[in-house]
Amino acid sequence: MIKVEQELTLQNSSAIEPVAEISSYLLAGGGKRLRPALLLLSAGYAGYRGDSAVRLGAVVELIHSATLIHDDVIDGANTRRGRPSANSRWGNHRSVLAGDWLYMQSFQMALTERNFKILDVLIELTQDMVEGELVQLSKLGRMDLMEEDALELAARKTACLFAGCARLGAVLGNLDDAGEQAMADYGHFAGLAFQLVDDVLDFTASPEQLGKPVLSDLKEGKVTLPLIYALESAGSEGQRLVQTVLEEKGFESVRPEEITALVRKSGALDRTRTAAHDFARRAKACLNGNAKSDFGRALLAVPDFILDRDN
C-alpha cells in the first residue's frame, strides 16, 4: 500500500497544474483505499508477487477518484470526506475535466501492462459504472422502486469495481477461468455488502462520521434500500413525508428526524443489515474454504471489516 501511494503521487506529478491541484486535494482527503487493497490481496492470494499489482492498485484508485469527482458534480454535492468537494472549490467544468483526465491516465497506466485481459476488465467495469449512473438518473425522485432496483444500482455503481479489483488480482496470478470467476464473485458480493452498509449509515451515522450531511441520498432524490423497505409498511402518511422531501429536494416542510424515525420504526435498517451480512457471507463462501495463507485470511476478514465500519 505504501508503494501504491508512491505510484499515485508519481502519476499526480505528471499532470498539468489545474488537474494536479484537484487530484492531489482529493487523494490527500483520505479514504480507506479499500479497492487497491482488495486488488493487492487478491493478487497475493492468486500467487502473484510483482510490481504490476502496485501499478493496477493505483489504476483502480484513480478510477475510483474520477467517479467521486463526477458523482459530486452530478449530485451537486458540497462536501466529500468532511471537506469541500472538488466541484464546490473549483467549479463543475474544471472538476469534470479533471475526472476525465484521471480516467485517461488510469488507462494509460494499464496499457503499460500490454495485457488485453486487464483492459477488458477495466473497460467493462467502467462501462458498468457509467451505465449505473445513467440508470440512477432515470430513477431519481421515484418512490415505486423495488428491492431488485436498488440491488441493480448497487451492482453497477459499487460492486462492479470491487469485482474488477478481485478479478484483476486473479488475472495477474494466472488463475483458471473458474478461479478468476470465483474471485470476481467474491468482490461482487463484498461490494454489495459495502453499498448496503453505506445506505444504512446514511440514516444512522453523524455528519462527522459520514464526511457529508446525513440523509443526503434522499435530498438528491435517491430512494435507497432502507427507504424502499420502510415504504412497504409506511402507510399514506409516511409516503406523503417521503414524497414531500423528494418534491422539495430538501428538508423544508419535513424534518430529517421524521424520515429517520419512519425508517427505524419499520425495521428497515435491521432488514438491510441482514441483507449486507448475507452478501458478506456469500463473499467468504467464494473462497471455498481456501483461506490458509495470510492473503486468504485477510480476504476472509475484508467482509467483516466492511460490515463493522462506521464511515
Q: Read off the CATH number of the domain in which 40 is found.
A: 1.10.600.10
Split at pLDDT 50, 70, 90, the class of 309 is: confident
Mean pLDDT of 188-208: 93
Of 18-27, 34-43, 227-236, where does mean pLDDT reach its minimum?
18-27
Res 82: pLDDT: 84
Q: What is the mean pLDDT of residues 34-49?
A: 97
- The residue-averaged pLDDT of 194-204 equals 95
Mean pLDDT of 189-209: 93
Please say if the pLDDT value at position 212 is more than 80.
no
Q: What is the pLDDT of residue 32?
A: 84
Give the cell for residue 38.
482488495
Burial class (CB within 10 angstroms; exposed 0-12, middle 13-18, buried 19+) of 14: exposed
Q: What is the pLDDT of residue 214?
A: 80
Mean confidence (pLDDT) of the chain: 94
Please write the tens of the pLDDT for every residue from 129-160.
Answer: 999 999 999 999 999 999 999 999 999 999 99
Strand partners, 42: none
Identify the pLDDT of residue 213: 79
Q: Which residue has the higher pLDDT, 210 or 53?
A: 53
**What is the model's pTM?**
0.95
- The pLDDT tens digits for 102-115 are 999 999 999 999 99
What span, in angstroms and rounded, lies between the C-alpha atoms of 198 and 186?
A: 18
Within 8 A by CB and 6+ apart from 33, the residues are 1, 4, 5, 61
Q: How many CB atoms lie within 10 A of CB 57?
A: 27
Is residue 123 very low, low, confident or very high in pLDDT (cuts 50, 70, 90)? very high
pLDDT given for residue 245 in this prediction: 96
User: The domain containing residue 159 runs over which residues?
Assistant: 2-308
Q: Which amino acid, 285?
A: A
pLDDT at 209: 80
d(CA 186, CA 38): 10
Number of compact structural domains in the chain = 1
* Mean pLDDT, residues 192-208: 92
Of all residues in the chain, the percent with pLDDT exceeding 90 is 87
- Is the pLDDT at 99 greater than 90? The verdict is yes
Digit-coded pLDDT (tens) for 237-293 = 999 999 999 999 999 999 999 999 999 999 999 999 999 999 999 999 999 888 889
3-state secondary structure the chain: CHHHHHHHHHHHHCCCHHHHHHHHHHHCCCCCCHHHHHHHHHHHHCCCCCHHHHHHHHHHHHHHHHHHHHHHHHHCCCEECCEECHHHHHCHHHHHHHHHHHHHHHHHHHHCCCCHHHHHHHHHHHHHHHHHHHHHHHHCCCCCCCHHHHHHHHHHHHHHHHHHHHHHHHHHCCCCHHHHHHHHHHHHHHHHHHHHHHHHHHHHCCHHHHCCCCCHHHHCCCCCHHHHHHHCCCHHHHHHHHHHHHHHCCCCCCCHHHHHHHHHHHCHHHHHHHHHHHHHHHHHHCCCCCCCCHHHHHHHHHHHHHHHCCC
Is the separation of the CB atoms in 145 and 226 below 8 Å? no
- Span 170-187, average pLDDT: 98
pLDDT tens per residue, range 8-32 = 999 988 888 888 999 999 888 877 8
The residues, any chain, with a CB within 8 Å of residue 306's CB and separated by 6 or more, are 34, 190, 193, 194, 197, 276, 280
Residue 185: burial class (beta carbons within 10 Å; 0-12, 13-18, 19+)? middle
Do the beta carbons of residue 145 and residue 157 sit within 8 Å? no
187 has a pLDDT exceeding 80: yes
Residue position matching grid coordinates 474488477: 164
Q: Taking 80 as the threshold, does the pLDDT of residue 311 lie above it?
A: no
Asked whether the predicted pLDDT for residue 211 surpasses 80, the reply is no
